[in-house]
Amino acid sequence: MTRELLSANTLQHWMSALLAISIFLMLFYILRRMVLHRLQLLSRTTQTVVDDFFYDVLSATRVLLAGAVSLYIAQLFLVLPAPLERTIDRFVVTLLLLQAGFWAARGLEFWLRHRLSQGEADEQGGREMTRSLLSFLGRMVLWSLVFLLILDNLGLNVSALIASLGIGGIAVALAVQNILGDLFASLSIAIDKPFVIGDFIIVDDLMGTVEHVGLKTSRIRSLGGEQIVFSNNDLLKSRIRNYKRMQQRRVVLAIGVTYDTPKAKLETIPQLMRQAIEAHAKTRFDRAHLKGFGAFSLDFEAVYYVDSADYNLYMDIQQGINLQLIDDFATLGVEFAFPTQTLHLASMQPTEQRAVSQAS
């Protein structure tokens, strides 16, 4: 075939083909640079996303496109054997399919980024997690389709291949059912959003901030600094407490005073607790009562709400209430109770003393 190719084409044919390829490559790169520069200027001066889309997609233009068109141009100036011409045609179509795959993948990424960039700032973590998972799955489906089209272009029986893959896929699915379970669990997390990146969650006795949600595992940074890795399937089977979505915090404040506190002072303690709570912003008083009689104290209980999920703010408010109650109780003359025991020793009667002395 090589000898036939050389004998059928003169030096003029080869020079014409090389000149045509050179001119095309030069025009291709000049045109590509001019178009991208123009689109970049438009994207900076306009508010529409169309020019941004085309700039992003055309930026994914690879040398594959130039190579495919160059081969097609070269065969127009050369006399080629029929088998070689068919091979070149298939190779050109393969390169074009690959280039179309790069364009489609970049367009999908742009659409997901633009579609999921709209919304509240506090939902950014959830949108980023959804975008990452949908981008991966979309690219996987896209390149699978491109791969099948390339095989069909090369002359393989794609229908038989798909049928055999379907039968083999059942066996593979049974073998990797745990991995598939984690994959579908990741989709459930992305769609249902029980938590997103940045949320502080508690799973059983483990707690931390969500750092990453992958296809198989999710990673949480604990308060101690270490990274905790959960299987997505196991994570969804657990009871998850999401503190990032807490809108208000219910706080129970319990204190105890000594039993020798006069009744008049006991009646003023609920009011003092209410005043101490309402003195702080973002608090909502609920109730305060003498709850009951403890082993060594008279127990009071107050309930209030903090209209924020910020734990540091809650602790600042709690500290202020505690310090205020210490000052108020000192002014009122009320003492806080602490664990004590009182032993009462009864003196023995004279008859008991004689009985003890006779027994001795």
pLDDT band at 358 (very low <50, low <70, confident <90, very high): low
Q: Is 268 a domain residue? A: yes
Q: List phi, psi (to 5°) of 49.
A: -100, -5
Residues 291 and 187 in one domain: no
Q: Are residues 103 and 15 in the same domain?
A: yes
Clarify whether residues 238 and 254 are in a common domain: no
Q: Is residue 34 part of a domain?
A: yes
Cβ burial of 201 (10 Å; 0-12, 13-18, 19+) is buried
* Mean pLDDT value of segment 108-134: 69
In this structure, what CATH number is given to the domain that contains residue 297?
A: 3.30.70.100
Note whether residue 163 is domain-resident.
Answer: no
Top pLDDT among 65 and 283 is at 283
Q: Would residue 61 count as lying in a domain?
A: yes
**Do 267 and 316 belong to one domain?**
yes
Q: What's the rounded mean pLDDT across residues 283-303?
A: 93
Long-range contacts for 323-326 (Cβ within 8 Å, ≥24 apart)? 324/275, 324/276, 324/279, 325/255, 325/272, 325/273, 325/276
Residues 254 and 217 in one domain: no
Do 210 and 308 fall within a single domain? no
Size (the chain), residues: 360
- Does residue 292 lie in a domain region? yes
Quick one: 85 and 30 in the same domain?
Answer: yes
Percent of the chain scoring above 90 in pLDDT:
24
Q: Where does the pLDDT of residue 348 fall: very low under 50, low under 70, confident under 90, or very high at 90 and above?
A: low
pLDDT at 360 over 50: no
pLDDT computed for residue 30 by the predictor: 85
Tell me the pLDDT tens digit for each residue of 305-337.
999 888 899 999 999 999 999 999 999 999 998
Give domain status of residue 354, yes or no.
no
Residues 216 and 260 in one domain: no
- Taking only the tens place, the pLDDT of each residue in 175-197 is 555 666 777 777 778 777 788 88
- Is 157 among the domain residues? no
The two beta strands, 200-203 and 283-293, are unpaired
Residue 253 has pLDDT above 90, yes or no: yes
- Quick check: 356 pLDDT over 50? no
301 within 8 A of 254, measured Cβ to Cβ:
yes
Q: Which domain holds residue 223?
A: 178-242
Q: Give the number of domains in the chain.
A: 3
Q: pTM of the full predicted structure?
A: 0.51
